[in-house]
């Protein structure tokens, strides 16, 4: 995949974002595209769902991200006996001054890794997902704002379905992007085997950004130029999902808006100062995949249909 970074100026963004990417790429070997997607979700102000097998680096990715972003980070390992309070936090009565005191749960962090989110009961899942949507938590009638920026990386194992509660469609929609990580290539895997333990690398990682800088980057991304042809392309892709015979329903207008937002963020991550069709093309599968469903008779997976749509849509 060609990166047009040579062609387009980084000047508007500064070097810190590039350095942050390099840091994460140093830990997660050979997954540049996934790292870019993760940063895009973050800079578009959304959340990321990683669907993959255990041991391919989901947790490492989340940890590396949280370190370079410079904020706080928490990991929640979901189980089926978990309660909403285990995530959001509880109000406890303090005997000393005879008052209720709110003890924030693990969700109060800049980066939250929600591991195996589909193991929790729907009630617990929705507690987290509401927090993701609102940016705040309400416990015992009191509202507590979550730290900004707030970024959730949730994971789930697509194969191990026993004893899980699959996320309903409406909640899947709360995740801006969904992606897999995938196995590394042979050469990259060899590097992983030879090189020092990733945990040591993580420990040596230095923060590059800070929450205020991330908020600023989010604003920068939102203001990036999107030309008419790129808008045409976005519309053509969304329209193609609506008229495709194998799909139950097409993408909503909200999804189209999310597509523009993420394409801008992706352009920023790649150091461009305007949006290219490449940006749209690269994030479209991650954005559309979990928002679409195929007809069972069609015998095609959503990913196949999405690839088909991309292949059939002309780039203006």
Partner 1 sequence: MAQLPAHPLPPFNAVAWTVAAFVTAAAPHLLAMPIWLAGAVLLVCAWRLAAAHYRWRPPPALLRLSIAGIGIGLIIFAFGGLWGRRTATALLCVMLAAKMLEMFTMRDLRLVASVCFFLIATQFLFNERLVYLGYLVLGSLLATIALYRIQEIRVGPGRADLAGEVVGARGGALLLVMAVPVALTLFVLFPRLAQPLWGLPDQVMDGRTGLSDEMSPGSISNLFLDDSPAFRVEFDGLPPPPEQRYWRGPVLWNFNGNTWSRPFFSDTPRQSFVPVGPRGLSYRVQLEPHERRWLFVLDFPVSGPDTATLTVDHQMLHRHPVTTLMQYEVVSNPDFVDMPSLPAGLRTLATRLPEDRNPRTLALAAQLRQRYSDDRELIQSVLSWFREEAFYYTLRPSPLGRHGVDEFLFDLRSGFCEHYASAFAVLMRAAGIPTRVITGYQGGFWQAGSQYLLVRQSDAHAWNEVWLEGSGWTRVDPTAAVSPARIEQGARSVLDAPRHLLDRDWIQNLRNRYDRIQHLWNRWVLGFDHQRQQRLLERLGLPDMSVERIALLMIVMLSLVSALLAWLVLQPRRLSPRSDAEKAWQRMLRRLRRQGFVKQAQETPLEFATRVQTGMHPAGPEFMRLTQLYCRVHYGNQGSETARFLTGAKAFSPSRT
Answer for which of 159, 162, 193, 245 binds partner 1 (CB under 8 A) is 245
- Give least dist CB 216 to partner 1, A: 21
d(CA 86, CA 100): 17
Q: Is 74 among the residues that bind partner 1 (CB under 8 A)?
A: no
Closest CA to 184 of 198, 174, 169: 198
Q: Is 316 among the residues that bind partner 1 (CB under 8 A)?
A: yes
Q: Is 249 among the residues that bind partner 1 (CB under 8 A)?
A: no
SS3 string of the chain? Answer: CCCHHHCCCCCCCCHHHHHHHHHHHHHCCCCHHHHHHHHHHHHCCCCEEEECCCCCCHHHHHHHHHHHHCCCEEEEECCCCCCHHHHHEEEEEECCCCEEEEEECCCCCCEEEEECHHHCCHHHHHHHHHHHHHCEEEECCEEEECCCCCEEEEEECCCCCCCCCCCCHHHHCCCCEEECCCCCCHHHHHHHHHCCCHHHHHHHCCCCCCHHHHHHHHHHHHCCECCHHHHHHHHHHHHHHHHCCCECCCCCHHHHHHHHHHHHHHHHHCCCCECCHHHHHHHHHHHHHHHCCECHHHCCCHHHHHHHHHHHCCCC
Question: CB–CB of 208/23 below 8 Å?
Answer: yes
Answer for which of 97, 162, 297, 299 binds partner 1 (CB under 8 A) is 297
Site for partner 1 in 211-230 (CB under 8 A): 225, 227-230
- Give least dist CB 298 to partner 1, A: 8
Closer residue to partner 1 (CB): 87 or 275: 275
Q: Could you identify the residue written with the tokens 């994971």?
A: 155
Per-residue binding string, partner 1, 2-41, x by CB under 8 A, is x-x-xxx---------------------------------
Count of residues that bind partner 1 according to CB under 8 A: 30
Site for partner 1 in 254-283 (CB under 8 A): 273-278, 281
Closer residue to partner 1 (CB): 220 or 246: 246
- Give least dist CB 262 to partner 1, A: 16
Cis-peptide, bond into residue 149, ω within 30° of zero: yes
Closer residue to partner 1 (CB): 47 or 270: 270
- Give least dist CB 70 to partner 1, A: 31
Closer residue to partner 1 (CB): 7 or 26: 7
Closer residue to partner 1 (CB): 33 or 298: 298
Stretch that binds partner 1, among 85-93, 112-120, 254-262, 290-298 (CB under 8 A): 290-298
- Give least dist CB 278 to partner 1, A: 5
Contacting residues toward partner 1, per CB under 8 A: 2, 4, 6-8, 225, 227-230, 232, 245-246, 273-278, 281, 295, 297-298, 310-316
């Amino acid at each position: 995949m060609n990166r047009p970074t040579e062609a387009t100026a980084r000047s508007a963004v500064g070097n810190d974002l590039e350095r942050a990417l390099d840091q994460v790429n140093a830990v997660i070997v050979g997954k540049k595209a996934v790292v870019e997607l993760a940063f895009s979700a973050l800079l578009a102000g959304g959340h990321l769902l990683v669907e993959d097998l255990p041991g391919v680096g989901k947790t490492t990715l989340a940890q590396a991200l949280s370190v370079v972003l410079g904020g706080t980070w928490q990991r929640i390992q979901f189980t089926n006996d978990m309660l909403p309070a285990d995530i959001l936090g509880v109000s406890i009565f303090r005997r000393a001054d005879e008052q209720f005191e709110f003890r924030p749960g693990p969700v109060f962090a800049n980066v939250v890794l929600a591991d195996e989110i589909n193991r929790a009961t729907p009630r617990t899942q929705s507690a987290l997902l509401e927090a993701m949507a609102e940016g705040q938590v309400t416990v015992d009638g009191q509202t507590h704002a979550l730290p900004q920026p707030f970024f959730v990386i949730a994971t789930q194992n697509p194969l191990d379905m026993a004893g899980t509660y699959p996320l309903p469609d409406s909640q899947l929609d709360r995740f801006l992007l969904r992606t897999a990580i995938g196995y590394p290539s042979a050469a990259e895997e060899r590097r992983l085997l030879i090189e020092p333990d990733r945990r040591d690398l993580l420990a040596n990682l230095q923060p590059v950004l800070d929450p205020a800088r991330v908020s600023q980057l989010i604003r920068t991304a939102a203001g990036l130029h999107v030309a008419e042809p790129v808008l045409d392309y976005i519309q053509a892709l969304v329209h193609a999902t609506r008229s495709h015979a194998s799909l139950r329903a097409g993408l909503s207008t909200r999804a189209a808006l999310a597509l523009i937002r993420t394409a801008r963020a992706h352009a920023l991550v790649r150091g461009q100062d305007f949006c290219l069709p490449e940006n749209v093309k690269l994030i479209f599968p991650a954005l559309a995949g979990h928002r679409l469903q195929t007809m069972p008779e069609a015998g095609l997976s959503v990913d196949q249909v999405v690839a088909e749509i991309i292949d059939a849509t002309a780039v203006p």
